[in-house]
Amino acid sequence: MTSPDSITLHRPLDMHLHLRDGDMLRLVAPHSASNLAGAVIMPNLVPPLTSVEMLTAYRGRILAAAGPHAASFQPLMTLFFQHYTEAALAAAQPHLFAIKLYPHGVTTNSDSGIHSIDAAEPTLKLMEAMGIPLLVHGETTGFVLDREAEFLSIYGRLATRFPRLRIVMEHITTAAAVALLDRFENLHATVTGHHLVITLDDVAGGLLQPHLFCKPIAKRPEDRDALLAAALAAHPRLMLGSDSAPHPQHAKECCGCAAGVYTAPLLLPRMAQLFAEHGALENLQAFVSDNAIRIHGLNPPDKSVTLARQPWTVPSAYEGDPGLKVIPWEAGRELLWSIQA
């Protein structure tokens, strides 16, 4: 059901989600599990998820933290990229959605990331043969505004070298990355909700806004506009992947601010508001669900979420125990759309 004032989304998915662990997991997991049919769960814990035993144990903790929403929420689990044997991948595959590749040191908890794409090729060949998707944090360690652009040639090389490997460019932030989607049939992408709205000016154009600081960093207006145009048109190789990344308030409002924007509690209402503002509400279903289901052959729980044009105010913080506080995107602001059922 879609009208100018309401929309029902069927089997909505978040194709890039950080849930952390421990107290943080117990605080944030219900925010996603309550209104999504599934999510791709990132593996960059401390230590990172590198075995089937770690993978299944973490999935159990996620479902326990989801509480009453667990039955209608599918965690799509990922392993942290390293050099895997065929036997290790075969053992993990029944529990595995994809493998996430982090270049060394580019983002939170990526110190175990790879140093060389060439050295990764044996595992990539196995993944291609076994039909395991590759998710990539595509940045170099160069100048911060150029890091994604510098990585694009590596995407092209991977797509050409492994034509049957399903590759996802994670959280793209540039117009050039959008253009690359149309060059290779095996290349896909996720984009965050906040990168469809903000630019670097919102992060650091005035007083520094730590709760908008993330990796990859927001870019120029023309990049944001290209991302938005692709999302509003429901580009067939583009999927919503929030990269919702919670950190305690004290880790964001400090020197050495942690990278990550916490968007999970308002993800669907904010996207409904954005698409409605641009007269593209009819394309939201494809962007938040249908594209991902088609690209990856997914079968998430049969869950529907109805949103309506009814204002609500985003909480100034979400609090857990003991003394844990997380500040969300748009904290304290009124949104025009809200979840009704």
Q: What pLDDT score was predicted for residue 115?
A: 76
Tens digits of per-residue pLDDT, 222-278? 999 999 999 999 999 999 999 999 999 999 999 999 999 999 999 999 999 999 999
Q: What angle do CA 163, 165, 166 make, to 5 degrees?
A: 115
What's the rounded Cα separation, in Å, for the pair 225 and 238? Answer: 15
Q: What pLDDT score was predicted for residue 112?
A: 65
What's the rounded Cα separation, in Å, for the pair 258 and 305? Answer: 32
Q: What pLDDT score was predicted for residue 110?
A: 59
Q: What pLDDT score was predicted for residue 106?
A: 62
- Assign 330 a pLDDT band (cuts: 50, 70, 90): very high
CB-based contact 268:7 (threshold 8 Å)? no
Taking 70 as the threshold, does the pLDDT of residue 105 lie above it?
A: no
Portion of the chain with pLDDT greater than 70, in percent: 97
pLDDT mean across residues, the chain: 96
Which residues are marked as active site? 243
Query: In the CATH hierarchy, which top-level class contains the domain 2-339?
Result: alpha beta
Taking 80 as the threshold, does the pLDDT of residue 113 lie above it?
A: no
109 in helix, strand or coil? coil
Tens digits of per-residue pLDDT, 127-179? 999 999 999 999 998 999 999 999 999 999 999 999 999 999 999 999 999 99
